[in-house]
């Protein structure tokens, strides 16, 4: 990978660029979903989104563990690795660690807010997040994921 212009950037400029990348990542994901929804339908877009995020999450967890030298296993490792996930930063996941559980809260889903603002119906994201977290947890060698999502649609 050629990092080009990044090689000469100082921390504040790198942070600004990182914010740009995270924003761009979210925008690409959003437009991808909208294009699939427009071409086929929302149900097809939701299904494909679940398949894609189910695959990507495990890949991300594996890379995060390697790049950031995460040694903890189980819930502790899962919670630590989730801090590095782009979507934790993009969406603002709040991660609360308890003795025998990790609670991930989404204070406001920017995707749903944007859809409603544009007059589009909310989409069903629960299956996508279920696959995402299962895949991430599986890669972290923590197979037990409880799906107690009370307000996800």
* Closest C-alpha to 99, from 84, 79, 81, 128: 79
pLDDT of residue 64: 97
Is residue 149 domain-resident? no
Q: CA-CA distance, 91 to 152, in Å (whole number)? A: 14
Contact by Cβ (8 Å): 119, 148 = no
Instruction: Dump strand ranges (E) for the chain.
Output: 94-97, 102-105
Is residue 40 domain-resident? yes
pLDDT at 150 over 60: no
pLDDT of residue 99: 87
Kindly compute the dihedral angle of the four CA atoms of residues 47, 52, 55, 60, in this order, to the nearest 10 degrees: -140
Range of the domain at 27: 11-139
The model's pLDDT over 60-97, given as tens digits with 9 standing for 90+, comes to: 999 999 999 999 988 899 999 999 999 999 989 999 99
The model's pLDDT over 10-33, given as tens digits with 9 standing for 90+, comes to: 999 999 999 999 999 999 999 999
Q: CA-CA distance, 107 to 92, in Å (whole number)? A: 7
62 SS3 class: helix
- Give residue for tokens 């599986």: 138
pLDDT at 50 over 80: yes
The model's pLDDT over 94-117, given as tens digits with 9 standing for 90+, comes to: 999 998 889 999 888 888 888 899
Is residue 151 domain-resident? no
Top pLDDT among 125 and 27 is at 27
Question: What angle, 0 to 180 degrees and rounded to 10, lies between the N-to-C axes of helices 74-82 and 42-67?
Answer: 110
Q: CA-CA distance, 4 to 136, in Å (whole number)? A: 31
Is residue 69 domain-resident? yes
User: pTM for the full model?
Assistant: 0.82
pLDDT of residue 140: 81
Is residue 150 domain-resident? no
pLDDT at 119 over 60: yes
103 phi and psi angles, rounded to 5 deg = -110, 120
Name the domain count of the chain: 1
Q: CA-CA distance, 114 to 143, in Å (whole number)? A: 33
Is residue 105 domain-resident? yes
pLDDT of residue 149: 45
pLDDT at 145 over 60: no
Top pLDDT among 144 and 33 is at 33
pLDDT of residue 108: 84
């Amino acid at each position: 990978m050629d990092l080009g212009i990044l090689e000469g950037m100082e921390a504040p400029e790198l942070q600004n660029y990182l914010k740009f990348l995270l924003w761009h990542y979210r925008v690409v994901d959003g437009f991808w979903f909208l294009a699939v929804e427009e071409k086929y339908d929302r149900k097809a877009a939701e299904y494909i989104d679940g398949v894609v995020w189910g695959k990507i999450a495990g890949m991300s967890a594996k890379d995060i563990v390697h790049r950031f030298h995460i040694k903890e296993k189980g819930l502790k490792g899962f919670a630590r690795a989730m801090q590095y996930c782009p979507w934790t930063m993009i969406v603002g996941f709040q991660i609360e660690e308890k003795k025998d559980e990790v609670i991930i809260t989404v204070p406001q889903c920017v995707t749903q807010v944007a859809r409603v603002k544009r007059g589009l119906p909310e989409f069903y994201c629960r299956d996508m997040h279920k696959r995402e977290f299962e895949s991430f947890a599986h890669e972290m060698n923590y197979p037990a994921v409880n799906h107690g999502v009370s307000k996800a649609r």
